[in-house]
Structure 1
Amino acid sequence: MHHPGPPRFVAVGDEVELAPRDPDPAATYAWTVAAAPADSTAALGDEPVEYFHPDEPGHYVVALDAPDGRHELTVRAFPGGLAPASEAPSYPRSGATETTADEAAAGASGDADDGSGRADERDDAPADPDGGGRPRLTLSATVTEEAVVVEVDPRPHPDGSETAADLDVAFLLDDRDDIDREDVRIAGGELAIPLAAIADRARVHAVAVGRHGYSVPDAVDIRRGDDDAPASGDADAVEIHRPYDPPAWAEDAVIYEVYVRTFPGQGDDAAAEGGVFDAIRERLDYVEGLGVDTLWLTPVLANDDAPHGYNVTDFFALAADLGTREGYERLVEAAHDRGMRVLFDLVCNHSARAHPYYQAAVSDPGSEYRDWYEWRGPGDPETYFDWELIANFDFSHLPVRRHLLDAVDEWAPLVDGFRCDMAWAVPDSFWREVHDRLKARDADFLLLDETIPYIPDYQAGLFDVHFDSTTYAALRRVGNGEPAEAVLDAVEDRARSGFPDHAGFMLYAENHDETRYLVECGRPAAEAALGALFTLPGAPLVYAGQEFGQRGKRDDLAWAHADESLREHVRRLAALRRERPALSSAAALDRVDYDVREGWDDRVVAFRRRVDAPTGAAGGEQSGDTVVVLNFGAEPATVAVDAAAGETDLLTGDPVGTTEGLRVDSVAVLPADRS
């Protein structure tokens, strides 16, 4: 089906990329504006991939004429003043100065609509004197005997004066679904669809709208679970899905990144005899013993011999120096046998300049592959950061989309998720298609984005889990002397940025692109940073070698020189995270009062992770609440934390209580007292 996907919420002046899904490069596609506000002059051209610019607030319908028929897409445009601020990061292209990850992260701090008509009148709304910003929204749905009722949980910006009652809600029904829209009712911030109006499927999309903008969209997917059920009066046949929630397994995964070519270390016999895939497979028992349940392998496809593998020369072949396809599949199967999931590093923005298509485009200006790439001059391809060995694909060219979708189809069945390289450099419409394409086959397939700084709208049907580059940057600053409470500010920044509560995040202190944390910040801070990864909300990432003190970020791993005490620290953190529900991503994060009696005040931070207590339970231990104290300082600290219950560290089993408080070397975890 070539339908371009879910309806869009945008602001006047935004650009909406329109592309047919599952494209046939040989087919003819045509776009038109089928409906628009009275004063709009917005138009579309005659290319298969078009860029639509709403010029007036209101509802638009754009139509795609494709080989499989005519498809309509609703676009809801809000006034330009409600556009999210700095939604897309700006990265330097060829000829510009490189921006580091740290610098980028530090800069980030259907008439079934809203039923109110108020949102379109807010261009001249007075500024909120108390500040504020983008609201947030979560949808839920309840099946009654006669209808499905979609309810909203709108939340204002944490720093503003607006309340939930001040927010409007704009609904859109999915144009792909067969729904009798005259039967849909909106009242009191709820949308109701009679069961009889749902033939097969009904997808409902919505945003919250406030004075400072509109939220990240959320959606519910209402399906008839029994194809033979009558189209009315059978509530049991209706299933509710939340398509923008991360897979349950991914929210609390413990991820281990393997930089494939240097992971075996020098002189590894398995690597020498059977290839790198076999060498990694030989160490899976070790990885599992760390408490890891998810393996991220850096790129494994054929490339231009750059050790990192991100310069791909064949999107359908494995790199010969790593082993055979059979070896790769043995590795994945062995991981699955241990209950571990595997992430494939997916590169879509570019190819290597050594790719035969790029070589053909350069050698012959009349080559069909000339249109596959973006150019900034004759023979000079577009790229980012002056990277000399890659060339950016042109996603307005249908053969490019077809080629990359075919590559997605090739590798997805073998693995459990994609880590999406340079996700920010690929059009949103492509990622939406990948998301829907893969989720239709396996709702538990994970899409993890590398985007620095993170982008809240990527939560809405593009990716499941996001690199938390904001907390990464805070951990680096804290390791270099900034007050330790910056890590709590960073986690709270997720809501301030506009992420809904159901968004998923991956926490990391280092990876293959960054200097090892221990090298930059020292051993004591490295232990505390690991403690933060395993106790803050999010899925922790350990970069291979981080667990035993590796100093080079891409060097052969020095297995023979491992720091066993640091490795045991990681094992204990992973085990405690599994044992304590309060350390899961679903548990709340609370600030608590604490007093540093001995040591440096600004090197210490304490917080509580809170879960709902069972009925009748009292006190923190019964509820599972947990207090965490992190000390990034070089010397132990003594910290008084009123919320802590007991004086035995759950992480080590050692007593840490003194007359002055808790003695903390780097990390201490204790049961909490709610009273």
Structure 2
Amino acid sequence: MHHPGPPRFVAVGDEVELAPRDPDPTATYAWTVAAAPAGSAAALGDDPVEYFHPDEPGRYVVALDAPDGRHELTVRAFPGGLAPTSEAPSYPQSGTTETTADEAAAGTSGDAGDGSGRTDEPDEAAADPDGGGRPRLTLSATVTDDAVVVEADPQPHPEGVETAADLEVAFLLDDRDDIDREDVRIAGGELTVPLDALSDRARVHAVAVGRHGYSVPDAVDIGCERGDATDSGRDGGTVTVHRPYDPPAWAEDSVIYEVYVRTFPGQGSDAAAEGEVFDAIRERLEYIEGLGVDTLWLTPVLANDDAPHGYNVTDFLSLAADLGTREDYERLIDAAHDRGMRVLFDLVCNHSARAHPYYQAAVSDPDSEYREWYEWRGPGEPETYFDWELIANFDFSHLPVRRHLLDAVDEWAPLVDGFRCDMAWAVPNAFWREVHDRLKARDADFLLLDETIPYIPDFQAGLFDVHFDSTTYAALRRVGNGEPAEAVLDAVEDRARSGFPDHAGFMLYAENHDETRYVVECGRPAAEAALGALCTLPGAPMVYAGQEFGQRGKRDDLAWGHADESLREHVRRLTALRGEQPALATAAALERVDYDLREGWDDRVVAFRRAVEAPMETAEEERSAVVVVLNFGADPATVAVDAAAGETDLLTGESVGEDDGLRVDSVAVLPAGPSGQRR
């Protein structure tokens, strides 16, 4: 089906990329504006991939004529003053070619936000003199005897004066489904779908709207499986409700281990021979599992230009011969699965290597069919980011590029459990939406993890499940270099301040293959505390291979024979405790607690409480709460902590109690008592 996907919520002035899905590069596609608000002059051209610019607030319908019929897509445009401010990065390209917000993720809301509005809305939103920011929204749905009720839970910006009652909710039905606006009822922040109006599927999309903009969209997917007349639904059927923008349950609390494939086997006698890297990784799976890891992220494994990192791909459908064969790779994945570990494939879509045969054909012959595959800054010079000399950016307005990359997605996705998406910000959002829907239709638990720095809240809306938490990463680095340790809590709270909904997923990390090792930059004591932060804050912790034993080179052969065993044991204890304590799960609440530093540097210590939220009537033994104290200083600290209910460190099983508080070397996790109780 070539339908371009879900409806879009945008603001006037944004650009919406429109592209047929599952494209046939030899087919003919034509776009038209089928409906628009009064006064709009917005139009579309003749290309199969078009860029639509709403110029008036209100509802637009764009139509795609494709080989499989006519498809309509609703675009709701808010006034330009409601465009959410974005944390999207603006990365330098090597040339002066104009780029869109979708391509560089450098605009305000862009196609990342996608549209809603009323035709009677003013051109600009009134400024709020009391401050505030982007609202947030979560949808839920309940099946009753005669209807499905979709309820919106709008939340104001945490630092604004707006309340939930001040926010409006804008709903849109999915144009791909057999249901019309007249079939449903909308009132009081609820959308009701009568069961007798429900066909096979009804997808409902919505945003919360406030004075400062609209939220990241959320959605619910209502399905009806045909049954006999005794079941619910039109003509009988079982009704199901699914939240398509929630991360897979397994991913939210996974422990991820990044393997930089070519240097992971080690040095000297540990080094892998040519073509035996996959086997060498497989032989260390027992070790990796023993760290408490359940998810393996392998850096790129495809054929490349011999750069050791592998991100310069020369064949998107073949593995790198120096790593091993297809059989070796599949044997590694099967062995990981046998241990209950999932595997992430590092997916590169923004560019190819300049050594790729398609690029070589394009640069050597201006009349080559592959010339249109790439963006060009000038004759013979491709577009890139950061003046990288060995890659060339793909042109996603060219259908054969999209087709080729979708074929690559189809080739590798069945083997693995998720994609880590390289340079996600540089690839058009509409392409990622298609990848998301394509993969989730086959396996709802397939994970999409985006590398976007800084993170972009709108990527939660049907593009990716889990995001690199670059904000907490940066805070950990600053704290390791002397900034007050409270910055790590500020960073976690920034998720809501930037507009991420509560259901967004995050990967916590302190280092990776692009960054200086934390222990080198910040020292070993801070490295222990940073590992503690990764395993006790909300999110999925990621350990970069070698981080667990003090490796100092970020891409060097791992020095297995020179491991810091006490640091490795520290990691094992942290991951084990995280798995044992419900209060350390991602869904558990995080709150600051009062504490007094009796000995040590006050800016090196931070304490917080994690707790499983439960009704007041829940039995005490069913509750779970802990207090975490992190000390980034070189010397032990003595801390008197509110809400600590004991002196036994759950991490080590040893008492850390002293006459005037708790002794904390780097990390302490203690049972939590009622708020206000001080040890």
Which category describes the TM-score, using the shorter chain as reference length?
over 0.9
Where does 1:99-498 land on structure 2 (aligned, <5 Å)?
Answer: 121=121, 123-226=123-226, 232=233, 237-268=238-269, 271-272=272-273, 275-498=276-499
Structure 2 Cα separation of the partners of residues 435 and 231 of structure 1: 30
Let me know the Cα RMSD of the aligned residues. Answer: 1.9
| 1:111 alignment partner in structure 2 | none
What CA deviation, in whole Å up to 9, does each residue of 1:471-524 have, x standing for no partner? 000000000000000000000000000000000000000000000000000000
Structure 1 Cα separation of the partners of residues 338 and 185 of structure 2: 49
User: CA distance change for structure 1 residues 660 and 180 in 2, over 3 Å: closer, same or farther?
Assistant: same
| 2:648 alignment partner in structure 1 | 648
Following TM superposition, by how much is the alpha carbon of 1:362 offset from its aligned partner in structure 2, in angstroms? 0.8
2:227 and 2:236 in contact (8 A); partners too: no
Following TM superposition, by how much is the alpha carbon of 1:659 offset from its aligned partner in structure 2, in angstroms? 1.2
Structure 2 Cα separation of the partners of residues 612 and 37 of structure 1: 46
Structure 2 Cα separation of the partners of residues 233 and 154 of structure 1: 30
What CA deviation, in whole Å up to 9, does each residue of 1:173-213 have, x standing for no partner? 00000014312111111100111111100000000000000
Following TM superposition, by how much is the alpha carbon of 1:271 offset from its aligned partner in structure 2, in angstroms? 2.2
Structure 2 Cα separation of the partners of residues 564 and 648 of structure 1: 23
Structure 1 Cα separation of the partners of residues 84 and 550 of structure 2: 41
Following TM superposition, by how much is the alpha carbon of 1:268 offset from its aligned partner in structure 2, in angstroms? 4.6
User: CA distance change for structure 1 residues 233 and 384 in 2, over 3 Å: closer, same or farther?
Assistant: closer
Structure 2 Cα separation of the partners of residues 122 and 40 of structure 1: 14
2:536 and 2:578 in contact (8 A); partners too: yes
| 1:52 alignment partner in structure 2 | 52
User: CA distance change for structure 1 residues 93 and 600 in 2, over 3 Å: closer, same or farther?
Assistant: same
Q: For 1:384, what is the secondary structure of its paired residue? A: coil
Structure 2 Cα separation of the partners of residues 638 and 55 of structure 1: 61
Following TM superposition, by how much is the alpha carbon of 1:89 offset from its aligned partner in structure 2, in angstroms? 1.8
Q: For 2:610, what is the secondary structure of its paired residue? A: strand
| 1:21 alignment partner in structure 2 | 21
TM-score normalised by structure 1 residue count: 0.95
Following TM superposition, by how much is the alpha carbon of 1:121 offset from its aligned partner in structure 2, in angstroms? 2.8
What CA deviation, in whole Å up to 9, does each residue of 1:75-103 have, x standing for no partner? 0000000001135321011069xxxxxxx
Q: Which structure 2 segments of 5+ residues have no match?
A: 97-103, 109-115
User: CA distance change for structure 1 residues 275 and 664 in 2, over 3 Å: closer, same or farther?
Assistant: same
Structure 2 Cα separation of the partners of residues 336 and 146 of structure 1: 43
Instruction: Please identify, of 604-613 and 527-536, the stretch whose mean Cα deviation from structure 2 is larger.
Output: 604-613
1:198 and 1:231 in contact (8 A); partners too: no
User: CA distance change for structure 1 residues 214 and 148 in 2, over 3 Å: closer, same or farther?
Assistant: same
Structure 1 Cα separation of the partners of residues 233 and 282 of structure 2: 53
| 2:61 alignment partner in structure 1 | 61
What CA deviation, in whole Å up to 9, does each residue of 1:24-70 have, x standing for no partner? 00000000000000100000000000000000000000000000000
1:597 matched to 2:598? The reply is: yes
| 2:113 alignment partner in structure 1 | none
- Kindly provide the amino acid, as one letter, of the partner of residue 553 in structure 1: K
Q: For 2:473, what is the secondary structure of its paired residue? A: helix
Structure 1 Cα separation of the partners of residues 201 and 459 of structure 2: 24
Q: For 1:271, what is the secondary structure of its paired residue? A: coil
2:227 and 2:237 in contact (8 A); partners too: no
Following TM superposition, by how much is the alpha carbon of 1:266 offset from its aligned partner in structure 2, in angstroms? 1.5
| 1:623 alignment partner in structure 2 | 623
1:141 and 1:148 in contact (8 A); partners too: yes
Following TM superposition, by how much is the alpha carbon of 1:622 offset from its aligned partner in structure 2, in angstroms? 4.9
Following TM superposition, by how much is the alpha carbon of 1:269 offset from its aligned partner in structure 2, in angstroms? 5.7
- Kindly provide the amino acid, as one letter, of the partner of residue 212 in structure 2: H
Q: For 2:129, what is the secondary structure of its paired residue? A: coil
Structure 1 Cα separation of the partners of residues 70 and 607 of structure 2: 58
Following TM superposition, by how much is the alpha carbon of 1:131 offset from its aligned partner in structure 2, in angstroms? 1.0
- Kindly provide the amino acid, as one letter, of the partner of residue 242 in structure 1: R
1:575 matched to 2:584? The reply is: no
Report % sequence identity: 87
1:61 and 1:74 in contact (8 A); partners too: yes
Structure 1 Cα separation of the partners of residues 402 and 56 of structure 2: 31
Following TM superposition, by how much is the alpha carbon of 1:128 offset from its aligned partner in structure 2, in angstroms? 2.0
User: CA distance change for structure 1 residues 380 and 228 in 2, over 3 Å: closer, same or farther?
Assistant: farther
User: CA distance change for structure 1 residues 201 and 600 in 2, over 3 Å: closer, same or farther?
Assistant: same
Q: For 1:505, what is the secondary structure of its paired residue? A: strand
User: CA distance change for structure 1 residues 364 and 217 in 2, over 3 Å: closer, same or farther?
Assistant: same
Structure 1 Cα separation of the partners of residues 374 and 95 of structure 2: 17
User: CA distance change for structure 1 residues 396 and 274 in 2, over 3 Å: closer, same or farther?
Assistant: closer
Following TM superposition, by how much is the alpha carbon of 1:272 offset from its aligned partner in structure 2, in angstroms? 2.2
User: CA distance change for structure 1 residues 613 and 34 in 2, over 3 Å: closer, same or farther?
Assistant: closer
Q: For 1:575, what is the secondary structure of its paired residue? A: helix
Instruction: Count residues with an aligned counterpart.
Output: 658
Instruction: Please identify, of 86-95 and 415-424, the stretch whose mean Cα deviation from structure 2 is larger.
Output: 86-95
Following TM superposition, by how much is the alpha carbon of 1:12 offset from its aligned partner in structure 2, in angstroms? 0.1
1:144 and 1:235 in contact (8 A); partners too: no
Where does 1:656-667 land on structure 2 (aligned, <5 Å)?
Answer: 656-667=656-667
- Kindly provide the amino acid, as one letter, of the partner of residue 209 in structure 2: V
Q: For 2:352, what is the secondary structure of its paired residue? A: strand
Structure 2 Cα separation of the partners of residues 625 and 213 of structure 1: 36
Structure 1 Cα separation of the partners of residues 469 and 241 of structure 2: 29
- Kindly provide the amino acid, as one letter, of the partner of residue 564 in structure 1: E
1:82 and 1:123 in contact (8 A); partners too: no
Q: For 1:334, what is the secondary structure of its paired residue? A: helix
TM-score normalised by structure 2 residue count: 0.95
Instruction: Please identify, of 233-242 and 373-382, the stretch whose mean Cα deviation from structure 2 is larger.
Output: 233-242
Structure 2 Cα separation of the partners of residues 423 and 228 of structure 1: 45
- Kindly provide the amino acid, as one letter, of the partner of residue 93 in structure 2: R
User: CA distance change for structure 1 residues 233 and 199 in 2, over 3 Å: closer, same or farther?
Assistant: closer
| 1:519 alignment partner in structure 2 | 520
Structure 1 Cα separation of the partners of residues 360 and 274 of structure 2: 34
1:119 and 1:209 in contact (8 A); partners too: no
